[in-house]
Amino acid sequence: MGVPRYLAPAVERALAAGKMAFVGGPRQVGKTTLALSLLGPDANEQHPAYFNWDDPRSAARLRRVELPAGAPLLVFDEVHKYARWRNLLKGIYDTERSSRRIVVTGSARLDYYRKGGDSLANRYRHFRLHPISLRELHPAPQAQHLEQLLQFGGFPEPLFRRDVTEHRIWQRDRLARVVREDLRDLERVREVSLVEHLVDLLP
C-alpha cells in the first residue's frame, strides 16, 4: 500500500524545466519509492533506468556510463557515495540533458555533500521529503487516520503495516542505523571538509 507523495508535482516541474531533481530526507521516508513512481506505475528496483550505487552491478554500469538507450528518465540512488559523483552527474547531465531527465536520491550525506563545491551549480533543484502527513494519508481524514498516524508515525513501512511489535523493532533498528551510519559518515564528511578548507588556506 502507498499514497501519492506531496513532493511529486514539484519534482516533476523541476524535471520539466530541465533541471536534475535531488531528493533528500531521512532514511526510509520513501525517497526511492517516490523516484521509482516517476519511472512508471509498475517500476521497481529492476527497472533498467534505476541505478543504486549500493548494488555493485549498478555501480559498475555507472562508472562506465552505460545508460539504457531511449530512457527519458534516469534515477540514481545513493550515487553520492561515489568519490567523484559530482563530476559523474555533471558529465551525464551536460551531454544528455536534451533527451533525459535525472532524479538523484540520498539521505543525510546527500544533503551535506551537495553544499560543497559548485560544479553542479544551476543544474539541479533540491527537495526534502518528509514523513507522510495526515492529508497524504487520506484527502478527507477522519479520527481513525489521525490515530493511525499518531500511533505508528509517518514513515511508510510501520504506518502501513500497523503492527505494534514490528513498529518497535523498526524504531530500534532505524535508530541504530542513524547513529551508527549517518552520524558516523557525516562526521567523516566534516573531517574531509576541514582538510579541504586548510588546503585552501595554503599559499
For 144-179, what is each residue's pLDDT tens digit?
Answer: 999 999 999 999 999 999 999 999 988 888 877 766
DSSP 120: T
What's the pLDDT at 149?
A: 93
pTM tops 0.85: no
161: its cell numbers: 503495516
Q: Is residue 200 pLDDT above 90, yes or no?
A: no
| H/E stretch holding 105 | strand 101-105
User: Identity (one letter) of the amino acid at 197?
Assistant: H
Buried residues in 12-42 as b, exposed as e (16+ CB within 10 A): eebbeeebbbbbbbbebbbbbbbbbbbbeee
- Strand 101-105 and strand 73-77: the pairing is parallel
Q: Is residue 196 pLDDT above 50, yes or no?
A: no
181 exposed, middle or buried (CB, 10 Å; 0-12, 13-18, 19+)? middle
The predicted model gives 105-123 an average pLDDT of 71
76 bridge partner residues: 51, 104
Q: pLDDT class for 114, splitting at 50, 70, 90?
A: low
What's the pLDDT at 84?
A: 87
The domains found in the chain, sorted by start residue, are 1-130 (3.40.50.300)
